[in-house]
Structures are given as structure tokens and as C-alpha cells.
Structure 1
Amino acid sequence: MSKAVSMLTGRGLVLVPDLPLPHDKHNSVCAVIVERPGGTRLSAEAELRLEHFRPGGYKLMVYLLGFDEADVPVGSKIWKV
């Protein structure tokens, strides 16, 4: 899974996984586990949003509030609980 990671002031750490989200889904909040490459895990709440980009269409955006890029290093996996 490819992803882009950005830090947005007021929104937290933003992940953009290359995954589809059906258009009938609305923004939702869910519990997730962040598994770092070294095997340590963090519990977090993630806000899932479907946002439109031009060009490119709709993309799934995952917002992790209270975390920054150092908390979720490259190679981390995120699991919905």
C-alpha cells in the first residue's frame, strides 16, 4: 500500500493510503492500531474522510489527531479495530 504522509496544523497527521472508499460512505471515526516497523503498537482514533482532488478524483484520507510524523514512521501499518 502506498501512502503520502503530511502534518496539517489543527488536523494532525494525515495519511493518504491508495485504497478506494465507496462514494456512499460518509466521514467516520474509528479505533485503529498503529503497528510500527519495530513491532511496537499505538492505539489511536482515526477520522476517515473521502475528499476530492483535481485531478485525481476522490481519495481516502486518514487523520490521526495527536500524532506527528515521528510517531508513525515509514513502514508502519494501520489496522482498524
Structure 2
Amino acid sequence: MKRIVLLTVAERFQLSGIGLTLAPDFPVQDGWKNLSEKVLVVAPGGSEFKAQAQLNMAHFNFGNTPTSAQRERTWRVVVSLVDVEKANVPIGSQILVSPETHRAVLGGGALDSDAV
């Protein structure tokens, strides 16, 4: 199956009940529906494995008086890997998804140069 780079991991957080949550996150596209997909994780050294990912809309609470920049980030799409440990996804790893998921998360079309 053709896969496209959705994100390069800048940070990751092991959260109980959620899994390994990855950054960056994404703006919520119109008509967003949470989804689950088997993704390909490619580490900077070239090793790779498949993992079940949840792509869910999440609410970020910035307190009583969020700045305008924080208000824009209140609702985001967050990628979490189910049953994956933080040590298995080093910073710089790439997460590859189906073209359909790429479009759902980022909108628009995917570049052929990003496909694997």
C-alpha cells in the first residue's frame, strides 16, 4: 500500500490510557471524524515497524485567559500510537499513513515525492 509522510516526530509523550502521543499535532479540518489506522513508523536509522494509531480531536486547556495564539490551538488532531513504548519512536521518526488519512488530516492532495 502506498503511504505518505504525515509527520516527523518532534516530541512524544507516554500517556496512560492513551498511548504514545506524538507532536506535532494538527488543526482540525472541517468535517473531521476521529479515525484509527495501521501506520508505518520509520526511525531515523531506517528501521521500521507498523503500529496502530488513533487520530483524535483533543481539547487543550490554556487556563482562564488564553492568548489569541492559544485559542487557535484549543482544538487539535493528535496522533497516538497504541501499545508502543516511547523508546521505540525516537525524535525524528516519520509516521506514514494512507493517502486518504493524509488528506483527512491536512486537507488537499498529497505530493508524490512524499509517497513510499
Q: CA deviation at 1:59?
A: 1.7
Larger Rg: 2
Gaps of 5+ in 1: none
Q: Secondary structure at the match of 2:46?
A: coil
Instruction: Map 1:11-26; keep pairs closer than 5 Å.
Output: 11-26=18-33
RMSD in angstroms over aligned alpha carbons? 1.8
Q: Secondary structure at the match of 1:22?
A: coil
38-47 or 8-17, which moves further after superposition?
Answer: 8-17
- 1:60 aligned residue: 77
Q: CA deviation at 1:63?
A: 1.1
- Aligned partner of 1:77 among 94, 100, 106: 94
Higher helix share goes to which structure? Answer: 2
Gaps of 5+ in 2: 1-7, 63-69, 99-116
Higher strand share goes to which structure? Answer: 1
Letter in 2 for 1:62: V
Letter in 2 for 1:32: V
Distance 1:6 1:78, change over 3 A: same
Give TM-score scaled by structure 1 length.
Answer: 0.85
Aligned residues: 81
Moved over 4 A (4+): none
Q: CA deviation at 1:65?
A: 0.9
Distance 1:75 1:62, change over 3 A: same
